[in-house]
Chains A and B, each alone.
Chain A
Amino acid sequence: MSDRANGKPETGAFFPRDRNWHAPALTPGYKTSVLRSPQKALLSLDGTISEITGPVFGHSMLGELDNDLIHNFAKPGESAIGERIIVHGRVLDERGRAVPGALLEFWQANAGGRYRHKKESYLAALDPNFGGCGRTITDEEGFYSFRTVKPGPYPWQNGVNDWRPAHIHFSVFGHGFAQRLITQMYFEGDPMIWKCPIVNTIADRRAIEQLIAPLDWANTIPMDARAYKFDIVLRGRRSTMFENRMEGN
């Protein structure tokens, strides 16, 4: 159960981010980071009400096909080409508590490794029935799921011969703006993961392994789609017992 589900106010500050666990800003192996990385120290301080709070998104904003990338861009009666998969999992915080009502937005290349974007120049074909975006909101226990096709790997201009392993981008809102997170999910067994300069911006192998979704045979639907399980952990909140009233107010 989450504090929200228990009806308890969530007003504690978030655990500090472990900056050694995340990638540093400057990672020269990923060339674009060189001119886009802050070089001065971050100003560190405990979260204020401006970061402890965050926007809320209601289930009513979701369309019927928002969590079905196989069909949400396809012509009626048609579907996207590729390996049909279900991606599902749970959004938790660092204390292991469910995060209900978390908006997840995801985007990806098609089965051939091609994105539907005007800046994309890879020669792989577009799929007329695949847009590449979807979204969902976690339920009261933090669970989510969506349908898609497995994205293909693709080459990119970084080193002479760099390729991205198959991946799905995730954007996540928790309950506080300080929890805002964008990450990428990879697929179990892909040897390209360990060759990728973007994956390798992360120094700690355990942090990379946390981004790799295992094949979830138990949840695979016979004659339909295989399942991959991807849990996401957001920053935890301190217990509010000593800080639920601001002094001087």
Chain B
Amino acid sequence: MVQALGYLKETASQTAGPYVHIGLTPNFCGIDGVYDADLGTTMLNERTLGERISVSGRVLDGTGTPLRDALVEIWQADAAGLYNSPSEMRGAADPTFSGWGRCPTGADDGVFRFDTIKPGRVPFKDGRPMAPHITFWIVARGINIGLHTRMYFPDEAEANAADPLLLRVEHRHRVATLVATGSAPNYIFDIHLQGEKETVFLDI
């Protein structure tokens, strides 16, 4: 016998289900008066540094139908490339920028939208700069474990070409699934859950 490692097992994920809004965006689904506002609807204020952008898009199923019951969260660095997190050891992030946003997909059109700033570049583990990107996390009825992916910017071709994560994508035509369309300041990022245009999802 050897010593036991003694690690615990992560609690298993379960789907967010059809009523995720009740818990995470109650005001959005008409449950007023419990919380003043839904969390994650505002990421910045007028003092926040950086280029204002919007990111909107849809989450599409295998038939190309937009999900109208999904919830999308994003997490990103500030304009200087610093995360507003205690695990950020490189300096203090812009205190007026949360870096985190949450948006349900629209009940009619299935569109989500974030008003944010363009993130600065942050380093990969080996020090190489990653291209500017926004981390996405998608949950919905029918999704058993939240899906991680990233959005990169279409006007950063040079940085994208050297991005350590994008370089790991074996089938090069799939890199495009991680790059937004549109142009500054309004970017569009559609997420395809399956099919020919399936987004590259991350086990990270």
Q: Does A225 lie at the interface of the complex (its beta carbon under 8 Å from any beta carbon of B)? A: no
Q: Restricting to A186-227, which residues have a CB under 8 Å from any CB of B?
A: 198-199, 201-202, 204, 206-208, 210-211
Set of chain A residues within 8 Å of B201, measured between Cβ atoms: 38, 40, 42-43
What would be 14 A-B contacts, judged by CB atoms less than 8 Å apart?
Answer: A18-B10, A25-B144, A33-B144, A34-B142, A35-B63, A35-B193, A43-B201, A48-B124, A50-B77, A53-B83, A119-B19, A176-B85, A233-B10, A246-B125
Task: Other than A34-B142, A45-B165, A236-B7, give 5 A-B pairs with Cβ distance below 8 A.
Answer: A53-B87, A54-B87, A198-B17, A201-B144, A234-B11
Q: Is the CB of B34 within 8 A of A39?
A: no
B12, B26, B135: which contacts A133 (Cβ < 8 A)? B26
Set of chain B residues within 8 Å of A40, measured between Cβ atoms: 194, 198, 200-201
Q: Is the CB of B13 within 8 A of A32?
A: no
Majority SS at the chain A contact face? loop
Residue of A37, A63, A72, A73 with most partner-chain B CB within 10 A: A37
Q: Is the CB of A92 within 8 A of B202?
A: no
Known contacts A30-B142, A48-B130; decide if A234 and B75 are in contact (CB<8 Å).
no
Task: List A residues at the B interface (Cβ < 8 Å).
Answer: 4, 9-11, 13, 15-19, 21-25, 27, 30, 32-40, 42-57, 63, 65-66, 72-73, 92-96, 105-107, 115-120, 131-135, 169, 171, 175-178, 180-184, 198-199, 201-202, 204, 206-208, 210-211, 232-236, 243-244, 246-249
Set of chain A residues within 8 Å of B148, measured between Cβ atoms: 51, 178
What's the minimum C-beta distance from B124 to chain A, rounded to whole angstroms? Answer: 6
Residue of A10, A49, A244 with most partner-chain B CB within 10 A: A49
Q: Is the CB of B35 within 8 A of A66?
A: yes
Q: Is the CB of B200 within 8 A of A43?
A: yes
Residue of A36, A57, A65 with most partner-chain B CB within 10 A: A36
Q: Which residue of A lies closest to B200 (CB)?
A: A43
Q: Is the CB of B165 within 8 A of A180?
A: no
Majority SS at the chain B contact face? loop
Q: Does B186 lie at the interface of the complex (its beta carbon under 8 Å from any beta carbon of A)? A: no
What's the minimum C-beta distance from A194 to chain B, rounded to whole angstroms? Answer: 15
Q: Is the CB of A182 within 8 A of B146?
A: yes
Known contacts A35-B194, A211-B12; decide if A249 and B123 are in contact (CB<8 Å).
yes
Q: Does B155 lie at the interface of the complex (its beta carbon under 8 Å from any beta carbon of A)? A: no
Complex CA distance for A176 and B148, rounded to whole angstroms: 13
What's the minimum C-beta distance from B70 to chain A, rounded to whole angstroms? Answer: 9
